[in-house]
Structure 1
Amino acid sequence: MGQYYEVISEPLMQWVKQQKMFWVSTAPLSGDGHVNVSPKGGLYFGLVDNKTFWYMDLSGSGNETISHLYEPGNGRITIMLNAFEGPPRILRLFGRGRVLESWTPAFADFVKKHDVQTLAGSRSIIIVDIHQVNTSCGFSVPVYDFKEFRTTLNDYYERKAERFAQGKEHESMERNWALKNLVSIDGLPGLEIARKVAKEQGITPTKKMVGPMAPDHYYNDKRFSLNHLYLVAVSTMLITVVLIAASSLFTVPAGLSVPKNLLYSPSNANY
Structure 2
Amino acid sequence: MAKQFPRIEPAHAEFIGRQRIFFTASATAESRVNVSPREASALRLLGPNAVCYLDQTGSGAETAAHLRADGRPTIMVCAFEGPPLILRLYGRGQSLPRGTAGYAALLADHYGEEPPGARQIVRLEIDLVQTSCGYGVPLFAPMGERPNLRRWAEAKGEAGLIAYRAEKNTRSLDGLPALPAGV
Following superposition, the deviation at residue 115 of structure 1 comes to 4.0
- Residue 181 of structure 2 corresponds to residue 183 of structure 1: no
Q: Is the 8 A contact 1:99 1:124 kept in 2?
A: yes
- Distance, in Å, in 2 between the alignment partners of 1:177 and 1:48 is 28
* Residue number among 43, 46, 56 corresponding to 1:45 in the alignment: 43
2:62 paired residue number: 64
TM-score under structure 1 normalisation?
A: 0.65
TM-score under structure 2 normalisation?
A: 0.95
Larger Rg: 1
Following superposition, the deviation at residue 42 of structure 1 comes to 4.6
- Residue 70 of structure 2 corresponds to residue 82 of structure 1: no
Is the partner of 2:41 in helix, strand or coil? coil
Q: What's the % identity of the aligned pairs?
A: 37
Structure 1, unpaired ranges of 5+: 165-170, 198-271
Structure 2, unpaired ranges of 5+: none
Is the partner of 2:73 in helix, strand or coil? strand
| Higher RCO structure, 1 or 2 (CA under 8 Å, sep 6+) | 2
Is the partner of 1:142 in helix, strand or coil? coil
Residues 33-85 of structure 1 show CA distances to partners (whole Å, capped at 9, x for unaligned) of: 211111112511110111111111100101000000011xx100100010011
Kindly tell me the number of residue pairs found equivalent between the two proteins: 183
Dislocated runs of 4+, deviation >6 Å: none
Once superposed, what is the RMSD of the aligned Cα atoms? 1.5
Residues 3-52 of structure 1 show CA distances to partners (whole Å, capped at 9, x for unaligned) of: 0000011011011012110110000222xx21111111251111011111
* Residue number among 138, 161, 168 corresponding to 1:173 in the alignment: 161
Q: Is the 8 A contact 1:96 1:130 kept in 2?
A: yes
2:17 paired residue number: 17
Query: Which amino acid in 1 is paired with 2:55?
Result: D
2:32 paired residue number: 34
- Distance, in Å, in 1 between the alignment partners of 2:156 and 2:59 is 15
